[in-house]
Amino acid sequence: MIKIPKSILKECGFGEMAELLVKNNSFILSPVKEARKGWAEQFALQTKNKKQIGDDLKDFREFVTDWDKNEW
């Protein structure tokens, strides 16, 4: 377990959640970005409306990258 002082978390812009990435044998801890704000509500709304996630999205299979093929 790692404990990080609250003052440091606040200085770095952390809220209630964080994102942990592994890159080059290192951990990178970042605050969750605002771009994800509201996602949970939208997924809940789609579920309530019996929609499948992605029903309203364009088919993006033509944009598959090497990263998508190798990392996923």
Q: What is the pLDDT along the chain (72 residues), one digit of tens a residue?
A: 889 898 998 899 898 888 899 999 999 999 877 666 777 787 777 777 666 656 666 666 666 777 777 776
Overall domain count for the chain: 1
How many distinct helices (H) and strands (E) make up the chain?
A: 3, 2
Q: Examine residue 19 and state whether it is found in any structural domain, yes or no.
A: yes
Tell me whether residue 61 is in a domain.
Answer: yes
Segments forming the whole domain that contains residue 47: 6-71
- Whole-model pTM: value is 0.40
- Report if residue 1 sits inside a domain: no
Per-residue confidence (pLDDT) for residue 51, from 0 to 100: 61
Residue 29, in any domain of the structure: yes
Query: Would you state the pLDDT for residue 64?
Result: 73
From CA 15, how far away is CA 62, in angstroms rounded? 36
Question: How far is Cα 18 from Cα 55, in angstroms, rounded to an integer?
Answer: 29
pLDDT at 41: 83
Q: Look at residue 61 in the predicted model and tell me its pLDDT.
A: 64
3-state SS class at 27: strand
